[in-house]
Amino acid sequence: MVNKSVLVLGGGIAGVASSLRLAVNGFKVYLVEREPTIGGAALFFCCKATEACNQCSVCLVPEKIAEVKAQPQISLLTNSQVAEISGQVGDFSVRLIQRPRFVDPEKCTACGVCAELCPSQPNKAIYLPSPQALPYAYAIDKNNCLHFNGVECNICSQECPFGAIDFDRSPEKIELSVDAIIIATGFDVFNAKEKGCLGYGRYTNVLTGLDLERKFSTQGSITLPSSGKAPQNVAFIQCVGSRDVHIGNGYCSQICCKYAMRFAKLLQYQHPETKITIFYMDLQTAGKGFGEFYQQCKETIRFVRGIPVEISEISPDELEVKYEDFIEGKVAKEIFDLVILSVGITPRKDSSNIARILGINLGEWGFFDTQDHLDSTETNVEGIFVAGTCHGPKDIPESIAHGAQAASKVIQTLAARGI
């Protein structure tokens, strides 16, 4: 057992991978997560299997969370954010702020009595963040909770069979001393409203890839938001917010072509008569087994080169998509009943704040920078490493690999310095 500790900032899949790799090698890990559960963005994504597994890797998330649960070397600090960091490699001092959860995860068994009784409408104020949540415990959303909004409601705390609920908690400061730090704060999904001409937020039947993830993972299928009917004619528009220097994102998000094709297959699996068109710039089809999957997609999905410039709503069920038809050499208009914007990965809005607290550099597009521009993990500050999508776009397996790489670099760096 080594007597060293590492702070991992961010409990998404990359941070989890880093923590696991460190913990099995005997390191003490403080896994800090701002939300009430670890798992990050991918925890809320859906399985895209049809009759066969289409290798979206979303199932790896609960798998890895279960490993964290069984790992005594990892201390979870959820609802927490970093406030201050000082010191250097081998001796960092970290101050965290932990916001109260109001439910003691040690006592809560996720029996669900509280949520059944919670009178808050329309959303229950006390909730289990996910069936795969870790800690596997309920949390209270202060904004929704009657108790915190001027009503004398203590139902949940009175009825909890385990006495796990305590409203009189205030934010706590946590001081830690660690040898190294891994930043794995993840990404923000591109806000499709920035591309106003595509009508997201204005037209009912224009959705994003993220909306699809949510709908499929909660409902298992998708219907037209306007009418509740099954979609007949669906368009996917690629590169929304990616490969676009005009909005400051001059990079490929690396995930959208793959998720669009997997969703398209899934839609057709559920509704074989659904027509699907994918508008693209360049299809990113590399990766083990994906080329073969693309060949299958070509049989039932229409691929059109060119990114539409404008969508207008003729009726809630009829969206007119205007695009340049390269084959015919003219501007074409076509009606779809559902349009999916394949939004990509952007740097987190608070990344400049984290960069300032830690003294690390940001790269050209606002992701954390590393010493060489390949997928390395070392930042300009010795002992601080980055992992996952906070460093640049990555899919789930690549985030896991990058997380494990960062952990390995921590072990090597500390070994080399004899710390």
Options 70, 150, 218, 246; binder of another protein; rule CB under 8 A: 70
Residue 81 token pair = 């954010």
Binding of another protein by 251 (CB under 8 A): yes
Options 68, 192, 384, 411; binder of another protein; rule CB under 8 A: 411
Per DSSP, the three-state class of 65 is helix
Give min distance, CB of 105 to another protein, in A.
12
* SS3 of the chain: helix, strand, coil, percent, to 5: 30, 25, 45
Specify whether the CB–CB gap between 342 and 235 falls below 8 A.
Answer: no
Binding of another protein by 415 (CB under 8 A): yes
Binding of another protein by 380 (CB under 8 A): no
Q: How many residues bind another protein (CB under 8 A)?
A: 66
H helical segments located in 52-122: 60-69, 113-117
Phi, psi of 239 (to 5 degrees): 60, 35
Binding of another protein by 23 (CB under 8 A): no
Specify whether the CB–CB gap between 316 and 226 falls below 8 A.
Answer: yes
3-22 binders of another protein (CB under 8 A): 21
Per DSSP, the three-state class of 123 is coil
Binding of another protein by 392 (CB under 8 A): yes
**How many Å separate Cα 115 from the centre of its chain?**
25
- Interaction pattern, residues 329-368, with another protein; x per rule: CB under 8 A: xx---------------------------------x----
Kindly list the distances between the CA atom of residue 316 and the CA atoms of 75, 178, 228, in Å, as whole numbers in the listed order: 49, 55, 12
Binding of another protein by 283 (CB under 8 A): yes
Total number of residues shown for the chain = 419
Options 84, 172, 292, 350; binder of another protein; rule CB under 8 A: 292
| DSSP-derived secondary structure letter, 356 | H
Binding of another protein by 156 (CB under 8 A): no
Output 43 or 176, the one with its CB closest to another protein: 43
| Span from 185-193, 262-270, 271-279, 282-290 in contact with another protein (CB under 8 A) | 282-290
Binding of another protein by 167 (CB under 8 A): no
Rounded Cα distance, 279 and 28, in Å? 48
Kindly list the distances between the CA atom of residue 158 and the CA atoms of 142, 170, 374, 388, in Å, as whole numbers in the listed order: 18, 20, 55, 42
Q: Rule CB under 8 A: which residues touch another protein?
A: 21, 24-25, 55, 57, 59-60, 63, 66, 69-70, 107, 109, 111-113, 136, 161-162, 243, 245, 250-252, 254, 257, 282-292, 294-295, 305, 326-330, 364, 372-376, 392-393, 397-398, 401-402, 404-405, 407-409, 411-412, 415-416
